[in-house]
Structure 1
Amino acid sequence: MRIIKSFTLSAVTLALGSMTSTLWAMGEHTDAHMSSHQMRDMSDMQNLAKDVVTDSAQINHAEHAEHAVELPIASTEIYAHTADHRIEHGGQIYQSTEIDSRWLSNSDGEGFLKSELESRIGTDENKLFLKLHADKAESAKADYAAQAMYSRMISDFWDVQAGVRYRYDQKHSSDKSRYDAALGLHGLAPYFFETDAYLFVGQDNQVSFSLETERDILLTQKLITQPYLNMNVVFSDDSRYAQKTGLNDVWLGVETRYEISKKIMPFVDIAYHYEKGDKQTAWQTKTDSEADWWYGAGVRMKF
């Protein structure tokens, strides 16, 4: 009986030892298996992170390379856009010409023909102005004047101009041709008055100032009335055919035109004219001041 108990105890002990060894081996195997999986997962995560970093670097490099290639194109496009913008806002060269011719007569039946031409060419900032005037009283010889002016924009509404004026008067027996230096302003005065103001300085101490200003008042889209003022002030004149100093000549009138088109515009005109006269010199006699009302019609053409 004692032998049987001893044998049974030994068998139980061996069985427990075997189970313990088996469980320990299984635990070791499980830990090793889990460690292997963890190591593999960590390695996979590291490889994935490396791939992400590599892909990001490749993308950044590609983007930088793309930008490096497109930069000259972008610069060219910006330059082209700037050039187009410059052309649209002041860089374009344009030309326009206006011809004005009118016949006026006074209460005494005397007639007077006035013709003017103004042409300009250039950009908004730099222009060349050419102005021609021809005045001919009935039964008298004509006198002419021409101005060539360089015009430079100094603000949104004003140009400063400088140039030369040439005058030719057939009524004079000598000194028919005269030259004057000219400096002036051309632009839009407050309340939309188109204004030309010039200072002239010539030989024989001839210094004068001229002002031309006008304003359009729309009665309809095609019928327009235009009050205007043209005046000439003489500061000094020691020439053979000198004019009296002071306010020498004034035209104050109202012109009403009908615009058949923007190129052809007939009009009627009524004006008050004052002229101070000439000084007494060795080559001419003194003349008195004259003032009268003048009425007439004409046509203006633009192209």
Structure 2
Amino acid sequence: MRLLLFASAAVVAAPSSAQDHAGHGHGHSQASEAAPMDHCAMGHLPPEQCPPKAENSDEHAGHEGHGEPTGAEDHSQHQQMDHSQHQSMDHSQMDHSSHAMSADKSVPGAAPESAIPARAFEGPRHAADAIWGEAAMTPSRAQLARENGAMKTGMVMIERLEARIPVEGGETGYVWDAQAWYGGDINRFVLKTEGEGEFGGTPEDAEVQALYSRAIGPFFDLQAGVRFDPEPDTRTHAVIGVQGLAPYMFHVDGALFLSDRGDLTARVEAEYDQKITQALILQPRIEVEAAAQNIPEREIGAGLTKIEPGLRLRYEFVPEFAPYIGIEYEAKLGETADIARAEGKDPDGFKFLIGLRAWF
């Protein structure tokens, strides 16, 4: 009896299993005809050309609803796929712009980030006036402006205070070059002085400039004023020039001088601070002078009159105190050099320098 029941159950189960498997195969055939071939799922396309996996989640879920095929069935279906479409597909014509689009982070209906709310323009110009009153806040704002932008400051800078020892013999000389200023960021009063001479004698050249300086840009000031020369002869000049920081961090100081005797001269100085360490600094420097006409009483000829290129190596024990050594080549040019030779003087030569740069 038990054997008869077991045989009957086997007969009933066999047609049912065959029918389900046949239905599953038919379902796969219909899905393959209705849906396009997914090359991304098969790994035939690079990841950047495939849509996000979230977009295929429904399709994938539907595929899983058919049940998991056996290994033999999956392998046979993969072998029967037609890969000719993949080989003939022109991937260069695909539109991948959607993959480069960034997600919109704004809330739907929200104003753009650049929009200014209308209430920002409501109320008093200075909100503190509503609490303390305009009479109390006006002087406070004026004081704030003075302390943050309108402050008056000053400085004294000794650019060069040096002894000059001729390399090829001659008298040891000295040079000073200093300036001081007082004022704000835009308008300043500037005082400059420089000169040279030989130890044991009176200065050969000396000058003092009093200038009004006004900023004409972030890096340059326009300067105008007067220059007084006590040596080698008393003379006064009108001055106009510029001073500031040129591209590549070159410090530039140039000016035109018109004397009370009608002599027009010019001078340009440029220097650059090259840091070797935080305290050791190499400074190339050059100075060029020119004259529009002959000035016999000063032994100057028309044209370029003098050039002084040099190198100074200084050590900043502190930023305000930096002794240095260096070497400089001084040469008179053109007609000025001819005048020096006619008087038995050497128009050019090297000089060894020992000096100090300081400010306070």
TM-score, structure 2 as length reference? 0.58
Over the matched positions of the two proteins, sequence identity in percent amounts to 24
Matches of 1:104 and 1:252, distance apart in 2: 14
Q: For residue 141 of structure 1, what is the aligned residue in structure 2? A: 202
Matches of 1:106 and 1:288, distance apart in 2: 14
Aligned pair 1:123/2:184, yes or no? yes
Q: For residue 161 of structure 2, what is the aligned residue in structure 1? A: 101
Structure 1 residue 293, shift from structure 2 partner: 1.3
Structure 1 residue 73, shift from structure 2 partner: 2.7
TM-aligned CA distance change 1:68 to 1:148, over 3 Å: closer
Aligned pair 1:161/2:220, yes or no? no
Aligned pairs, number: 229
C-alpha RMSD over aligned residues: 2.8
Q: For residue 248 of structure 1, what is the aligned residue in structure 2? A: 305
Bigger Rg over Cα: 1
Q: Using CA pairs below 8 Å that are at least 6 residues apart, which structure has the higher relative contact order?
A: 1
Structure 1 residue 238, shift from structure 2 partner: 4.7
Alpha-carbon contact 1:278-1:287 (below 8 Å) kept = no
Work out which of the residue numbers 287, 290, 297 in structure 1 matches 2:347.
290
Work out which of the residue numbers 118, 140, 143 in structure 2 matches 1:80.
140
Q: For residue 70 of structure 1, what is the aligned residue in structure 2? A: 130
Q: For residue 63 of structure 2, what is the aligned residue in structure 1? A: none
Paired letter, 1:201? L
Matches of 1:203 and 1:160, distance apart in 2: 22
Deviates more, 1:212-221 or 1:108-117: 108-117
Matches of 1:266 and 1:68, distance apart in 2: 53
Structure 1 residue 86, shift from structure 2 partner: 5.3
Alpha-carbon contact 1:200-1:209 (below 8 Å) kept = yes
Alpha-carbon contact 2:305-2:337 (below 8 Å) kept = no
Matches of 1:77 and 1:193, distance apart in 2: 44
Matches of 1:68 and 1:256, distance apart in 2: 55
Q: Name structure 1 gaps, 5 residues minimum.
A: 1-62, 171-175
Q: SS of the residue aligned with 2:298?
A: coil
Work out which of the residue numbers 215, 220, 223 in structure 1 matches 2:272.
215
> Deviations for 1:119-178, whole angstroms, at most 9, x for unmatched residues?
1111111111111112003565312111111101111111100001111224xxxxx200
Q: For residue 256 of structure 2, what is the aligned residue in structure 1? A: 199
Work out which of the residue numbers 231, 236, 253 in structure 2 matches 1:179.
236
Alpha-carbon contact 1:205-1:236 (below 8 Å) kept = no
Alpha-carbon contact 2:168-2:349 (below 8 Å) kept = no
Matches of 2:296 and 2:165, distance apart in 1: 30
Q: SS of the residue aligned with 2:305?
A: strand
TM-aligned CA distance change 1:205 to 1:288, over 3 Å: farther
TM-score, structure 1 as length reference? 0.68
Aligned pair 1:92/2:154, yes or no? no
TM-aligned CA distance change 1:238 to 1:113, over 3 Å: closer
Work out which of the residue numbers 206, 229, 234 in structure 1 matches 2:286.
229
Structure 1 residue 78, shift from structure 2 partner: 7.2
Matches of 2:210 and 2:257, distance apart in 1: 13
Matches of 1:261 and 1:68, distance apart in 2: 44
